[in-house]
Amino acid sequence: MRVGRRGFLHAALAAATGTLSAARPLWAYAARNGGVPSELAACSGSGQRVDLAAADVKDLRASLRGPLLLAQDPGYDDARLLWLRGYDRHPALIVRAIDAADVGRAIDFARTHGLLTAVRGGGHSLAGQSVCEGGLTIDLSLMSAVEVDAQRRLASVQGGVLLGEVDRKTQAVGLATTMGTATDTGIAGLTLGGGMGRLMRSIGLACDNLASVDIVTADGKLTRASEVENRDLFWGVRGGGGNFGVVTTFEYRLHRLAHPVLSGARIYPYSEAHRVLAAATEVAERAPDALTLGVDLVNNAPPSTERPGRYAVLTVFHCGDPRDGERLLEPLKRLGAPLHDSVAAVSYLDAQGAVGTAPVAVPRTVSEYTRTGFLPGMSAVLLDELVRRFAATPPSLDCGLELAQMGGAVARVAPSATAYWNRHAAYDLMLFGDWTDGQSAQANTQALDTLWSAVEPFTRGYYVNTAPAEDGARVRATYGENYQRLVRLKKTYDPGNLFSLNANIPPSPPSTTR
């Protein structure tokens, strides 16, 4: 999964915080008062200015075990930056929580003062929603403990952990659970929105493997939710994103995985794209859960990549016996020799770190364009559209269209069993584009919009983690029949919509809240 960014969030937040740009110097220049400016201008959830008294801020600082960072404090600039460096926001306060009690105090402070509140786990938000302009950011990155109980096959993971650490600690004892495909993604945001990864077709989404969560809700109280405690809340956190509180600890069920897996990518010239997509989807439709296929149509624009040009890339993962995986891939031999083939038996850890193993360059820039949607299946018409429309994108535009196989164990959970609704999607489709030169932005956006408007009608719902700042109508549609239950839960656990920087489920009808 590639990197993206949604421009509309910028617009929404700029609107919400517009009053603050003039006020920002207050926290830069106001007289210091025991390390706290005498006046601290912050931003409310509805975009109004909030003046915080120095005494209140000092009390908050004194109550915390972890650091409270204000604009002048060392470490503030590092703490406010996300993985996507393009989000240049300045929270009035950053609470770097050490434990659930710190999280509770930060939530109490935010609620009491009506502050715009962001929650940061691993900082990989594609919409930049885990940092806010002028409000309070609750940063969990210091909460980084992972404890594996190999006997009970459970891992207890704090909310600031990056997924590579879970893979490393669980693989050390021959166990694994579903995590995403980029090792530096946070487990928190990933799991709460669903959590897709190489193992999902065998053992379900990351959220399907949750045994329990410890969560601090908007009232500042720490609560445990599981199949036996607060079941409704447990239902909601499995796919409902960060709407209901701050999860301080995730407990995952683990599965045995101690043998090599078959993993890698095969790169074909774009002239073969139609055949690659047709063959891959044909094999995918008959595939056992152990096999997951994907096809990426990519245009690597020179000079930013090692391998400029347009390609069709087949991605392969098989978590059973690698020889069985090879047999399942035999029908793909009719595609002829690829330009490059990295499919091989490797350790699961190698497969999880495999981003750099294929020679398709993955620029570490901020993506300028992302659109995503689930596909119920593949048809000849859609296949033609994908190949033809992608070929029409400008050669100078770094872009990609990724088709990732879903199904298997993901689809065997009833849509109403957890908040994650789109269980019957056959594929997840993602279009992205990168550019740094502002002059080409309009033409690039137009080219990608043209492509997306042709393929979007084939989609049904979308993955909230890839476009968390979508508008209310799209969020409602993607939660389907689960939406009303989510609204009821929101009213119970976050009636004031303190946790609004997410694929938001407002506690009241949208007309009165947004």
**Closest to 397 (Cα-Cα) out of 303, 271, 299:** 299
**Within a 10 A sphere around the Cβ of 359, how many other Cβ atoms?**
14
Minimum CB distance to ligand FAD, residue 434 (Å): 12
Comparing CB distances to ligand FAD, the nearer of 37 and 292 is 292
Query: Which tokens is 215 given?
Result: 């969560």
Minimum CB distance to ligand FAD, residue 287 (Å): 19
Q: How far is CA 489 from CA 131, 217, 236, 238, in A?
A: 24, 11, 7, 13
Q: How far is CA 68 from CA 16, 27, 49, in A?
A: 24, 14, 20
**Within a 10 A sphere around the Cβ of 152, how many other Cβ atoms?**
10
Provide the edge-to-edge strand list for the sheet that holds 210-216: 146-149, 154-158, 246-253, 210-216, 222-226
Minimum CB distance to ligand FAD, residue 312 (Å): 20
Comparing CB distances to ligand FAD, the nearer of 58 and 224 is 224
Minimum CB distance to ligand FAD, residue 275 (Å): 27
Comparing CB distances to ligand FAD, the nearer of 180 and 338 is 180
DSSP 8-class letter at 83: S
Comparing CB distances to ligand FAD, the nearer of 105 and 120 is 120
Minimum CB distance to ligand FAD, residue 120 (Å): 4
DSSP 8-class letter at 90: -
**Within a 10 A sphere around the Cβ of 448, how many other Cβ atoms?**
23
Comparing CB distances to ligand FAD, the nearer of 80 and 389 is 80
**Closest to 428 (Cα-Cα) out of 370, 374, 371:** 374
Minimum CB distance to ligand FAD, residue 464 (Å): 9
Please name every residue paired with 139 in a beta bridge, in sequence order, or none if there are none: 96, 120
Comparing CB distances to ligand FAD, the nearer of 180 and 239 is 180
- Position 155: which residue type? A
Name the residues that contact ligand FAD, by CB under 6 A.
Answer: 1, 3, 82-83, 119-126, 129-130, 140, 159, 180-182, 185-186, 188-190, 192-197, 241-242, 246-247, 465-466, 501-502
Minimum CB distance to ligand FAD, residue 188 (Å): 3
Comparing CB distances to ligand FAD, the nearer of 94 and 196 is 196
Q: How far is CA 343 from the centre of its chain?
A: 26
Residue 181 near residue 292 (C-beta atoms within 8 A): no
What is the C-alpha to C-alpha distance for residues 160 and 145, in angstroms, rounded to an integer? 8
Residue 12 near residue 25 (C-beta atoms within 8 A): no
Comparing CB distances to ligand FAD, the nearer of 366 and 382 is 366
DSSP 27-74: HHHSPEETTEESEEEEEBTTS-EEEEEHHHHHHHHHH-SS-EE-TTST
Comparing CB distances to ligand FAD, the nearer of 122 and 164 is 122
Comparing CB distances to ligand FAD, the nearer of 181 and 444 is 181
What is the C-alpha to C-alpha distance for residues 250 and 406, in angstroms, rounded to an integer? 24
Minimum CB distance to ligand FAD, residue 31 (Å): 34
Minimum CB distance to ligand FAD, residue 247 (Å): 4
Residue 387 near residue 274 (C-beta atoms within 8 A): yes
Minimum CB distance to ligand FAD, residue 361 (Å): 14
